[in-house]
Amino acid sequence: MLDYRQLLAFVNVVEGGSFTQAAKALFMTQPAISWQIKSLEQELELQLLERKERNIELTEAGRLFYAHARKIVRQYEEAINEMEQFKGLEKGHLKIGASTIPGEYILPTIIGNFKNCYPGATLSMQIADTGAIVDMLLAGEIHLGITGAKLKESKLVWQPFYKDEVVLIAGLGHPLAGKGSISLEELKQQNFVAREKTSGTWMVVEEKLHEVGLRSQDLNIIMEIGSTRAVITAVEAGLGLSWVSRLAVKDALQLGQVKELSVEGFSIERPLFLTHNKKKTLSPLAQEFIQYILNN
């Protein structure tokens, strides 16, 4: 008979792309994950995965089975979540999705402090760009989202909880690094390194550019990078200018690795948002976590 743990391991291997990532997500050892997959394949008498040197690939049977397994896992988790509502806050599992800036620089401390208050609760966090977090919320894959931008999605509730600043930075050897401030016109003449378009940071940058009559197409963006830390490193290496969260670049600025630039008539402040699906019932644990964030 199929076991939920087998299905959960299989779904996480597929979605994580490897046994290693599945083990990290489920806080299990890699041999334990391998055993669950092996026992599942033996139960079905079918090979579901092809093991490659660095990754895995679904067989045809695996592709068919994954759609059903994913649905069963989601339904099981929803059932358990509803049952946990009757148990108060000492038990329960809260799955949080966070975009890069809040996920790397704000939430680890908040989650750690919250766990001290409710040691019986289980919390997990996935980090992705804002667009992906919204998709996960709509698909019911996470309970709460923390994002760097607010999207026009009517199915979600958005609550601002933290004010962040997005600043323009340059490498120390950049021609503009020694200037006190630069003009909007000068921006058009520079190379830029940017986050991907689904990044919350870049969404607010594009919105601010639009307010002053510019578009991202007016800038010479030579590279898009899916990591804020990698963007800062690229700027430090002299590849171009970039807008990044002050939270992310704080250390690099203090160490003198990059230079902050002031743009005349152009500054960006943005709230970070806590969001959830208004059509999903929030558990007491999720409600308590929301109040904890808003009050701290």
Identify the CATH number of the domain in which residue 227 sits: 3.40.190.10
CATH number at residue 3: 1.10.10.10
Residues 6 or more apart whose CB falls under 8 angstroms from that of 154 comprise none
Question: Residue 48 in contact with residue 58, Cβ under 8 Å?
Answer: yes
Residue 91 lies in a domain: no
Residue 116 lies in a domain: no
Residue span of the structural domain in which 26 resides: 1-86
Chain-centroid distance of CA 101 in Å reads: 8
Question: Residue 173 in contact with residue 238, Cβ under 8 Å?
Answer: yes
Q: What is the pLDDT of residue 85?
A: 59
User: Which of 86, 119, 147 represents a domain boundary (last residue)?
Assistant: 86
Handedness of CA 93, 97, 98, 100 (dihedral sign): positive
Q: What is the pLDDT of residue 86?
A: 54
Handedness of CA 111, 116, 118, 119 (dihedral sign): positive
Q: Rounded to whole angstroms, what are the CA distances from 144 to 34, 55, 56, 273, 283?
A: 30, 29, 29, 10, 11
pTM to 2 decimal places: 0.67
CA atoms within 13 A on the CB side of 135: 9
Q: What is the pLDDT of residue 181?
A: 86
Among residues 268, 157, 248, the alpha carbon closest in space to that of 203 is found at 268
Question: Residue 100 in contact with residue 199, Cβ under 8 Å?
Answer: yes
- Tell me the CA end-to-end span of the chain in Å, nearest whole number: 47
Residue 40 lies in a domain: yes
Q: Distance (Å, rounded) from C-alpha 168 to C-alpha 174?
A: 13
Q: What is the pLDDT of residue 91?
A: 67
Q: Distance (Å, rounded) from C-alpha 71 to C-alpha 88?
A: 27
Number of domains in the chain: 2
Nearest-10 Cα torsion for 250, 217, 147, 132: -130
pLDDT along the chain (296 residues), means of 10: 88 89 85 91 91 84 92 87 65 88 92 88 89 93 94 94 94 89 89 91 92 88 92 95 95 94 92 93 89 90
